[in-house]
Each structure stands twice: as C-alpha cells, then as structure tokens.
C-alpha cells in the first residue's frame, strides 16, 4: 500500500513515493538544487507568507479556470515545465507527461535533453506544445531543433536563459549522478535495491537524447554530469542579439525562461517574446536568487499588460497558483509537482498529481468566492 499512488494526495506524498522507487542518484537529481538549496526552499516558502482573503456568497456553482497563454487556451492555469532525462525517472518518460497534458488540455513542455524526439511528440500529441531550447555552441544543433519544432507543429519555443553554466548541484556530486547513469561501486547497491527501476532501464527502449545524439556524444554515449554538460556544451557568449536571431528563425511564439529582473522582462518584449517564465530553474542554478513568487509583482507591474507572465517554480498546492494569479501571473508552471509522480507511477501518477492540484484550484476558487481567474486580484491577498 505504501507504494501505491492511491495513497498520494499531494506533492509531498509523491515525493516520498519517488524516494522509495528510485535509485538514490536519480532521486537526488530531481529533488536537489544548487549550493545550500536556500532558493529551492524559498520558492515554496514564499507562498506561505501571504494569506488569502476570501469573499463569500458569490454564486460559485459554475466557475471557469481556463486561461490563454502563448496564443493557446488551456483548461487550467498550470502547465508542465520542460524537464530533462524523463525516461530515467520512469520508462514511459515524456510520453507519460504528454498523455496527461493531452487529457487536461494544458501546455506540455519538453526539454532539449528530452528522451523522446520532437517528431514523436509532435505526431502523438495535439495539446499545446512548448519546446525548451538550450542554446548550444554547435549552431547546427540549434538550427536542427528549431527546424524540427516548425515541422512538427510545436506552438512555442522557450529559450532557457538562466543556464549559461551549470549550477553547483552538490547532491549530484555526492551521488556521482551522470547522464547516462553510470553503475559504479558507490551507486551499485542503490541500483540493486531497486530492481524494478534497474530492469526497466536495462531492458526497455535504450536510453537516448534524440535531439542531441547526432551532434554530441556526451549525455547519450559518454557519461557526463549535467553541470559539466551545461558548462562545456552551451554557448556562454549569447546576448540579446542571439535571442533576436532565434526569434527570426523560429517565427512563432517565443518565451524566455528564467527572467528575474524588470530590466530583462522589458528587453524580452523588445526582442519579440510573447511570454516570460519568471523562474530560477527550481533553485538549481543561482542559489540565493529571489523566488519567482517574491519577484512577481515587480515584473507584472512593469510588463504584465504587454507579455504573458508565467510564475514557474515552487508550486506544490492549488493555493500557490491562486496566490500567483492574484498578483497578476497569467499561469503557473512546475517541474517537481509532476516529476515525483512520474517516478512513482508513470502516466497514472502524472495524471493523478495534476488532477489533485486542478481539483484544489477549483475548490479553492469556490472557497475564495471567485467565478473566473479575472476575479483574482491583489485585494485577495495580505502580506504578513
Ligand atoms: C529534474 C529536473 C530537470 C529539469 N530540466 C530542465 C531542462 O532540461 N530545461 C529547463 O529549462 N529547465 C529544467 N528544469 C527546471 C524546470 O523547467 C522548472 O523551471 C523547475 O522545475 C521549477 O521548479 P519546481 O520544480 O519547484 O516546480 C528541470 C527541473 C528539474 C527538477
């Protein structure tokens, strides 16, 4: 029973399940963050320092929680942030998350380091799709990914701008986590004690990073830590001009993921972005960076009427989404809120995790006396 998703009612329950199911290097890769993990903790704590003020007797029998971002209507204001290496967490990988995105009609973000190809995702899923682009030194690789997004009907590209070098993820240094995972003396016992995971990894479809493997060996055939991958493969010379170039090549909706300052939010508009994800990469990059929720009001006040502002990271509850929307975000997004559940039970886990938070959003909207997301505003909130 302990290992059943039926006993999971919130993100923390799924986290405990993932911890039981995964070899420790893999679990800590998901769960961990940079340096002292101060930012990781703050990302969620920030929501707890603001209180909601409900209104009552508002006739909330029928409510609407749909919103529109990057030109697409989604049924709830929460979507799946792009995350790398998903088939290491469960053999269904991105296909599990895609099924859930399709079922709930929300944005499905996939990473440059996805374990399923852009083509397969494009063929299988008709939900709104976002491709996350890491700008590599290899320009041919960048162009190949952009071209594939065009051919395969992706709706938006999100360029991650906070990963110019790898964050100092010390848990990965302790565990020796690499992509692909290496079986060494240190981790051997953990793999041996998780035979389901190990057998799935060894005998199901071979682990690969389809977008990268024709261009780089690292990550698929050569073991490398994710930090080293970023620091050696990504282009540290990029500037705002590089973003304009990509925008011109792509031509569709462009999102910048990892914007934290008002100055940069304004520049995002100048280069033609339609959306920004206010994000510190789930605390995995610059520890000590402000949390997205703490920084949201400043950014919304400066650019909220000109660009879709998305609050990314720290979301563990429906009330967190309501608080971010009350400050003016158009939607929220998250990684760990679905990754623990993916590790716990593939697509069934992801669907359960998303539907629990979606139910919370609906219940909390009714308890707040709000019939549509437009009714959420700063009068609903008090900072302690
Ligand atoms: C295991 C893991 C892998 C991630 N991989 C990527 C990635 O490949 N590209 C990217 O832009 N962000 C990546 N992220 C960051 C997420 O897109 C998102 O910003 C972050 O998870 C938000 O914080 P949260 O986990 O608290 O929701 C990753 C996050 C996690 C936890």
Contacts of 193 (CB under 8 A, 6+ apart): 23
Of 238, 239, 241, 250, the residue nearest 274 (C-alpha): 250
| Ligand 1 atom nearest 337 alpha carbon | 27
pLDDT tier for residue 184 given thresholds of 50, 70 and 90: confident
CA geometry: angle at 59 spanning 53 and 63, to 5°?
Answer: 85
Q: Is the CB of 43 under 6 A from ligand 1?
A: yes
Instruction: Determine the distance separating the centroid of ligand 1 and the alpha carbon of 62, expressed in angstroms.
Output: 34
Tokens of 88: 């290491």
Closest protein CA for atom 19 of ligand 1 = 281
pLDDT at 1 over 80: no
Give yes or no: 136 in active site.
no
For ligand 1, mutation pick of 158, 230, 335 (most atoms within 8 Å of CB): 335
pLDDT at 98 over 60: yes
Q: Which letter, b or e, does each residue of 227-244 get, where b requires 16 or more Cβ atoms within 10 Å of its Cβ?
A: bbbbeebbeeebeeebbe
Of 235, 278, 271, the residue nearest 253 (C-alpha): 271
**Mean pLDDT over each residue of the chain, to the nearest integer:** 96
Question: Rounded to an integer, what distance in angstroms lies between the CA atom of residue 240 and that of residue 242?
Answer: 5
The per-residue pLDDT for range 187-202, each reduced to its tens digit, is 788 888 999 999 999 9
Other beta carbons less than 10 A from residue 17's beta carbon: 22
Instruction: Look up the CATH number of the domain holding residue 344.
Output: 3.20.20.70
pLDDT at 2 over 90: no
Contacts of 106 (CB under 8 A, 6+ apart): 74, 75, 76, 78, 79, 80, 127, 128, 354
Q: Is the CB of 317 under 6 A from ligand 1?
A: no
User: Which single residue is written with the structure tokens 């070899």?
Assistant: 23
Closest protein CA for atom 6 of ligand 1 = 83
Number of separate domains in the chain: 1
Q: Is the CB of 166 under 6 A from ligand 1?
A: no
The per-residue pLDDT for range 262-300, each reduced to its tens digit, is 999 999 999 999 999 999 999 999 999 999 999 999 999
The per-residue pLDDT for range 325-381, each reduced to its tens digit, is 999 999 999 999 999 999 999 999 999 999 999 999 999 999 999 999 999 999 999
| Ligand 1 atom nearest 85 alpha carbon | 3
State residue 4's pLDDT score: 87
pLDDT at 37 over 80: yes
CA geometry: angle at 278 spanning 272 and 282, to 5°?
Answer: 135
State residue 183's pLDDT score: 75
Domain region containing 78: 5-383
What value does the mean pLDDT take over residues 238-244? 97
Q: Is the CB of 160 under 6 A from ligand 1?
A: yes
pLDDT at 185 over 80: no
């Amino acid at each position: 029973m302990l290992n059943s998703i039926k006993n999971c009612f919130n993100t923390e329950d799924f986290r405990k399940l993932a911890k039981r199911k995964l070899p420790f290097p893999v679990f800590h890769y998901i769960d961990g963050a940079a340096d002292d993990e101060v930012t990781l903790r703050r990302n969620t704590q920030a929501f707890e320092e603001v209180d909601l003020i409900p209104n009552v007797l508002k006739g909330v029998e029928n409510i609407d929680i749909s919103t529109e971002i990057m030109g697409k209507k989604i049924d709830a204001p929460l979507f799946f942030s792009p995350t790398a290496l998903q088939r290491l967490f469960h053999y269904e990988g991105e296909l599990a998350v895609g099924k859930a995105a399709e079922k709930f009609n929300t944005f499905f973000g996939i990473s440059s380091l996805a374990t399923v190809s852009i083509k397969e995702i494009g063929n299988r899923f008709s939900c709104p799709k976002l491709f996350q682009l890491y700008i590599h030194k290899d320009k041919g690789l960048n162009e190949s990914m952009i071209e594939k997004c065009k051919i395969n009907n992706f709706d938006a590209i999100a360029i991650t701008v906070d990963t110019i070098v790898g964050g100092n993820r010390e848990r990965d240094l302790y565990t020796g986590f690499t992509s692909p995972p290496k079986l060494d003396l240190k981790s051997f016992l953990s793999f041996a004690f998780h035979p389901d995971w190990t057998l799935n990894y060894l005998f199901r479809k071979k682990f690969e990073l389809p977008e990268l493997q024709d261009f780089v060996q690292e990550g698929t055939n050569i073991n490398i830590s994710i930090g080293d991958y970023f620091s050696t493969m990504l282009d540290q010379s990029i500037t705002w001009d590089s973003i304009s170039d990509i925008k011109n090549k792509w031509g569709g909706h462009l999102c910048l993921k990892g914007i934290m300052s008002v100055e940069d939010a304004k520049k995002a508009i100048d280069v033609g972005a339609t959306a920004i994800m206010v994000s510190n990469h789930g605390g995995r990059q610059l520890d000590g960076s402000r949390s997205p929720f703490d920084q949201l009001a400043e950014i919304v006040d400066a650019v909220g009427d000109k660009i879709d502002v998305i609050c990314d990271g720290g979301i563990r509850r429906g009330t967190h989404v309501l608080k971010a929307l009350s400050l003016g975000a158009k939607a929220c997004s998250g990684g760990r809120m679905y990754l623990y559940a993916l590790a716990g039970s593939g697509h069934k886990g992801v669907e359960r995790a998303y539907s629990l938070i979606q139910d919370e959003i609906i219940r909390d909207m009714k308890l707040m006396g709000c019939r549509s997301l437009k009714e959420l505003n700063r009068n609903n909130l008090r900072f302690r």
